[in-house]
Amino acid sequence: MFTVNAIAAPSATEPLVRTTIERRDLGPRDVLIEIRYAGICHSDIHTVRGDWGSVPYPLTVGHEIVGRITEVGADVTRHAVGDRAGVGCMVNSCRECENCRIGNEQYCLKGNTQTYAGVDRDGTVTQGGYSTHVVVDEDFVLRVPESIPYEAAAPMLCAGITTYSPLAHWNAGPGKKVAVVGLGGLGHMAVKIAAAMGAEVTVLSQTLGKKDDGLRFGAEHYYATKDPATFEALKNSFDLIINTVSAPIDMASYLGLLRLDGTLVSVGAPPEPLPVPVFALFGNRRSFAGSSIGSIAETQEMLDFCAERGIAPEVEVIGAEAVNDAYERVLASDVRYRFVIDIDTLR
Ligand code: NAP
Ligand code: ZN
Ligand code: ZN
């Protein structure tokens, strides 16, 4: 074990503080990553505040990690010292269940090992990316193309893949009308990726305050969900709706926006249930679905897709001392469009 600098939540109610955490010694199939940037995902906030249930404290979160590989274990073949590497929301899985065997390890039937607040193979609690170094099994490490701006690469490891995966699965592309609900970290990546896939994209945001940005990211239309006229104007319109909202939404209103055989996919993860009136599903034979991150192979595909097309998140880089303020701004929907911690400020 070795000790590294980190930021941790002491409890669900206290601010995050600077501290140190332990990392395991490098195993034969592990790589050591010197972390350079870590994104702040709304899931980090849900987790440390206990929104989704109790977690072990002190806890270091962060699952949008990018840095350089500085050491590799003896049996590592996929990565080399000096490579730019990324780590997302999971760091292992059982590798044997039917979902793992077909390359859907994010849906591991035994539960994938989450990057933080999970149980690692040595029985310890996993600790996330708000820290200077991390040790990860090489199979769960991504190659991050050098053409992606360094600080912008981090949020792709969660916000990027979590939106790419359902857009790809539900065939966003030419001729498809896609709506993105919520223009935050996930939402702005959903807009950029769906537009790059060739879909006609509409943003559904609480207000029109970020309209210019939404259109710049590739949306063709932009509506305010606080205006009830929006739900009249857009009735029966969309093939696919990606809901990224971190709080409950009125399902009947949003389902009513789907055209025949349309699907509303929730990637937003409010702690409360989202009640679905079945009659809203009967009309137009609509579907309501969920989606969780993406596989490692699909994450690599997303990174390469974005690198080829010059797509990257819009980020605000902050120092370690600004993380608690950033949390408050995310909670107030005042994020443009992802906070990224400069990990050099932790060294
Ligand atoms: P975020 O940056 O805070 O974006 C969420 C956006 O939702 C806000 O910017 C805001 O957009 C809108 N919003 C927030 N509160 C709202 C409310 N009360 N009513 C209506 N709209 C509201 O969060 P994020 O990091 O993108 O994460 C979004 C959600 O996805 C979180 O719940 C997170 O835990 C979850 N998540 C899920 C997965 C997965 O695998 N399924 C992965 C990552 C994250 P506007 O200002 O445009 O309205
Ligand atoms: Zn996340
Ligand atoms: Zn499995």
Sign of the Cα pseudo-torsion (138, 143, 149, 155, in order): negative
How many angstroms separate the CA atoms of 243 and 195, rounded?
Answer: 16
- Concatenating the DSSP letter of every residue in 143-211 gives E--TTS-HHHHGGGGTHHHHHHHHHHHTT--TT-EEEEE--SHHHHHHHHHHHHTT-EEEEEESSSTTH
3-class secondary-structure state, position 136: strand
Tell which atom from ligand 1 comes closest to the C-alpha of 246. Answer: 32
Residues in the 5 Å CB sphere of ion ligand 3:
93-94, 97, 100, 108
The residue type at 83:
D
Residue 274 in contact with ligand 1 by CB distance below 6 A: no
Cα Rg of the chain (Å, integer): 20
Check if the beta carbon of residue 246 is closer than 8 Å to that of residue 46. Answer: yes
326 close to ligand 1 (CB < 6 Angstrom):
no
CB atoms inside a 10 Å sphere around CB 172: 26
- State whether residue 75 is helix, strand or coil: coil
d(CA 236, CA 228): 15
- What integer pLDDT is reported at residue 42 of this predicted model? 98
> How many residues are there in the chain?
347
pLDDT at 120: 86
Distance 182 CA to ligand 1 centre (A): 6
CB of 32 closer than 6 A to ligand 1?
no
Look at strands 200-205 and 177-181 and give their pairing.
parallel
SS3 label, residue 338: strand
What pLDDT was estimated at residue 12? 98
- What is the distance of C-alpha 340 from the center of its chain? 13
Binding site membership of 162 for ligand 1 (Cβ less than 6 Å): yes
Ligand nearest to the CA of 51: 1
Instruction: Give CA–CA dist 55/40, Å, rounded.
Output: 18
Query: Which residues on neighbouring strands pair with residue 202, listed in sequence order?
Result: 179, 221
Closest ligand to residue 61's CA: 2
**Residue 101 CA to ligand 3 centre (angstroms):** 7
User: How far apart are alpha carbons 309 and 53 in whole angstroms?
Assistant: 39
Q: Which residues surround ligand 2, an ion (CB under 5 A)?
A: 41, 43, 158
Q: How far is the CA of 92 from the centre of ligand 3 (A)?
A: 9
Question: What is this structure's pTM?
Answer: 0.98
Per-residue pLDDT of the chain (347 residues; tens, 9 = 90+): 999 999 999 999 999 999 999 999 999 999 999 999 999 999 999 999 999 999 999 999 999 999 999 999 999 999 999 999 999 999 999 999 999 999 999 999 999 999 999 998 778 999 999 999 999 999 999 999 999 999 999 999 999 999 999 999 999 999 999 999 999 999 999 999 999 999 999 999 999 999 999 999 999 999 999 999 999 999 999 999 999 999 999 999 999 999 999 999 999 999 999 999 999 999 999 999 999 999 999 999 999 999 999 999 999 999 999 999 999 999 999 999 999 999 999 99
Q: Quote the pLDDT of residue 214.
A: 98
Atom of ligand 1 nearest to the CA of 41: 25
